[in-house]
Amino acid sequence: MKKYLVFDIGGTAIKFSVMNDAAEMLESGQIPTPRDNQEHFLADLKTIYDQFGEDCEGIAISLPGLTDSDRGYMITGGALSYNVGQYVAKQISEMCEGKPVHLENDGKAAAWAEMESGALKGIENGSVFIIGTGVAGGLILNGKLFKGKDFSAGEYSYLNVNDEKWGQFSTMMGSRCSTTGLLGIYRDLKGMTPEEELNGRDFFNAYDLNDPAAHEALETFARYVAVQLFNLTMLLDIERFAIGGGISNHPALVETIRKAYHDIHFDSEFPLDNTPIAEIIKCRYGSEANQIGALYSMLEYNSRMK
């Protein structure tokens, strides 16, 4: 089988693996993501290539930002602002002996993975909803990954949930419905200072110890997410949502979101009894979805270009 070097580049870490064309991981690792400049970023990728990629057929990359995959061009950069307006695929190819390089937006990469062989396989209209530092997403419409003319379909982080405070990140889904948002609710309930460290693992440790504030925070957060899933259901007739991101590994997350979503339908003063109800399940591939999807996206591109 052919081998590929695959990267999942996030705001915090660069995960990488050598995969075959059946999407099986042969080797893997991760390093911190450089946030200072693109030179540092490219140098780190080159170091990994020199160690793992020389006998690979190509390089598949998942990364944040609006991504023109066919041109290898970054329209926006998400957490990596130094990539804005750059032909990143060409830059990486040139420093890696001319190997083919294919880029895919992180949310859409996750959608590729779940559509091809995961939680959304066989679904006509579905969505991945990846809860991380922000909210990444991907839409499957009419059985195909939908990107849109400007590649912004599924960019849930930008959706505003409060028209009275337009343009403030605190009122966008990327804040309200992300891990950042969940931890913010918990901080407020506990009276924590910004200097006190807190991550998703800490939160669910407190939840498992039956901390009342953690349980209240999760229920509040789940309601925020459920309202947005309801809106997407009505707008696009979504059949199934696949929830991902690191905190989705705790079963209470999906269970609590699912309950809040059903409460919206059945405890509403306005009759919603006959409106469609989507399934809400966990992504099959979890933290590996972006890498698997980046490879699927590259293989699909190669097939189209033959």
- Residues 129 and 223 both lie in one domain: yes
114 located within any domain: no
Task: Give percent above pLDDT 70 in the chain.
Answer: 100
- Residues 88 and 161 both lie in one domain: no
148 located within any domain: yes
Give the closest residue to 130 by CA, choosing from 144, 148, 118.
Answer: 118
Count of alpha carbons within 13 angstroms of residue 262, beta-carbon side:
7
149 located within any domain: yes
Number of domains the chain contains? 2
- Residues 135 and 277 both lie in one domain: yes
Q: Which residues pair with 29 in a beta bridge?
A: 16
- Residues 228 and 187 both lie in one domain: yes
Provide the token pair at 68: 């023109």
- Residues 255 and 277 both lie in one domain: yes
- Residues 277 and 293 both lie in one domain: no
Q: What is d(CA 306, CA 302) in angstroms, rounded to the nearest whole number?
A: 6
- Residues 177 and 83 both lie in one domain: no
Vertex 189: Cα angle to 188 and 192 (nearest 5) = 55
pLDDT per residue as tens digits for the range 3-40: 999 999 988 889 999 999 999 999 999 999 998 999 99
**The amino acid at 282:** K
- Residues 234 and 93 both lie in one domain: no
27 located within any domain: yes
> Please, which pLDDT band fits residue 287 given cuts at 50, 70 and 90?
confident
165 located within any domain: yes
pLDDT per residue as tens digits for the range 200-243: 999 999 999 999 999 999 999 999 999 999 999 999 999 999 99
Q: Which residues pair with 282 in a beta bridge?
A: 243
- Residues 296 and 256 both lie in one domain: no
- Residues 251 and 141 both lie in one domain: yes
For residues 263 and 87, is the Cβ–Cβ distance under 8 A? no
pLDDT per residue as tens digits for the range 75-107: 999 889 999 999 999 999 999 999 999 999 999
pLDDT per residue as tens digits for the range 118-136: 999 999 999 999 998 889 8
For residues 145 and 304, is the Cβ–Cβ distance under 8 A? no
Residue 21 sits in a domain whose CATH number is: 3.30.420.40
Query: What residue numbers bound the domain in which 25 lies?
Result: 3-109+288-305
- Residues 267 and 140 both lie in one domain: yes
Q: Read off the pTM.
A: 0.90
> Please, which pLDDT band fits residue 1 given cuts at 50, 70 and 90?
confident
Provide the token pair at 205: 């440790």
115 located within any domain: no
- Residues 86 and 132 both lie in one domain: no
